[in-house]
Structure 1
Amino acid sequence: MSAEQWFEDYADAVYSYILMQVRNRHIAEELTQETFVKVVEKGHQFDGRSAVKTWIFRIAYTTTLNHYRKKHPLTHYLDKEFHIFGSHPSTQETALLNAQETQFYEALRKLKKSYQQVILLRHIHGFSTKDAAAILDSSEGKVKMSLKRAIAAFKKELEKGGMSHETLYRR
């Protein structure tokens, strides 16, 4: 499969994954482009040991991590808070984020970065434990344990924000 086809198949998912982390659509677009430039440059290195999607998400993960390390070293190391979509969300972004979604992402944002990553990869993007471990360069056991702890912490944050058990499972 060609890099163009990989872009067609995975660009939206990569953009969504990055946007959930950086919370700024312009930065997410830039990092998505940077990810796929690296995919094209390193396409010959893909050896098939993992799924293409897993390999691409690993590149997206490291690209986003490097962005924080380079552009926001204090935020990365001190784990400061970020604003969702900056100070002036567009009409389209406002329509996409209703009150429950905002609460959901605020609760997610309050978790440790490692917990955020494992929830994003396993539950939002649907990666297997094995694939999530490959993306995070971790063991499957560590991903399983992190996910268990992350879900418990996430539920506590949601409940602090006023979401009830019924609200969580209503969808």
Structure 2
Amino acid sequence: MIPLKPLGKTNEQVLKEWISNHHDLVFRTAFYYVKNKSTAEDIAQEVFVKSYEKLDSFRGDATPSTWLYRITINTCKDYLKSWTYRKVLYTSTFFENRSSHSVENQVLEQFQNDELLQTVMALPTKYREVIVLYYFEEMKTSEIATLLQLKESTIRVRIARGIEKLRKSLKGGDHEWITLTKN
């Protein structure tokens, strides 16, 4: 059992610490799912609000980052099933006209232009999530299985199938990072 919060810390202090330590992780995970920077920012905020509301019910069976991953994934899946996502058409022109020169935005724009990331982002969700967690977040298959509540063999199959789809999409398939011998 991992202690949730050190003695003497308030929920607000724990939340500030979590935001400081895990915001990038939550934002990246949301972005990998929804493929939209503004929506990912909204989801990240929603995740931290949810975690704050449920902070007292956190049992400590997992690390805070794993718990936040799970909340993020569930929030993204709920969003992707929502009426808003399915029925409302978003245009990117409003967001493109906003000027922002933060380091985070510059890095995100660099990633958005990267062919490999674009190809990964085009994968179906079940393959994209395991590829992102395995290669970009460097998680082990056992950790991914626990996080996604799937069998480890299912994770390995999805990674293999995702890689095969990437190879077909990337013309030639000889990208060095695409290997099953990582872990």
| Short-chain TM bin | 0.7 to 0.9
Q: Deviations over 1:40-65 (max 9, x none)?
A: 11122222222221111010001011
Over the matched positions of the two proteins, sequence identity in percent amounts to 23
RMSD (Å) for aligned C-alpha atoms = 3.0
Residue in structure 2 matched with residue 27 of structure 1 by the alignment: 39
Larger relative contact order (CA 8 Å, sep ≥ 6): 1
Deviation at 1:28, TM superposition (A): 1.0
| Pairwise CA distance, 1:98 | 4.9
CA distance in 1 between partners of 2:170 and 2:112 (Å): 10
- Are the equivalent residues in 2 in contact too, given 1:107–1:158 (CA < 8 A)? yes
33-42 or 142-151, which moves further after superposition? 142-151
Q: TM-score, normalised by structure 2?
A: 0.72
Distance 1:134 1:113 in 2: 17
The residue number in structure 2 matching 1:79 is: none
Which residue is 1:124 aligned to? 136
**Greater Cα radius of gyration, structure 1 or 2:** 2
Aligned match of 1:53: 65
Structure 1 or 2: more helix by fraction? 1
Structure 1 residue runs without a partner (length 5+) = 76-81
3-state secondary structure, aligned to 1:72: helix
Map 1:57-96 → 2, pairs under 5 A: 57-70=69-82, 71-73=84-86, 86-87=92-93, 88=96, 96=108
For the residue of structure 1 that corresponds to 2:54, the secondary structure is helix
Could you tell me the TM-score, scaled by structure 1's length?
Answer: 0.77
Partner AA of 1:126 in structure 2 = E
The AA in structure 1 aligned to 2:145 is A
Moved over 6 A (4+): none
Unaligned runs of 5+ in 2: 6-13, 178-183
Corresponding pairs, count: 158
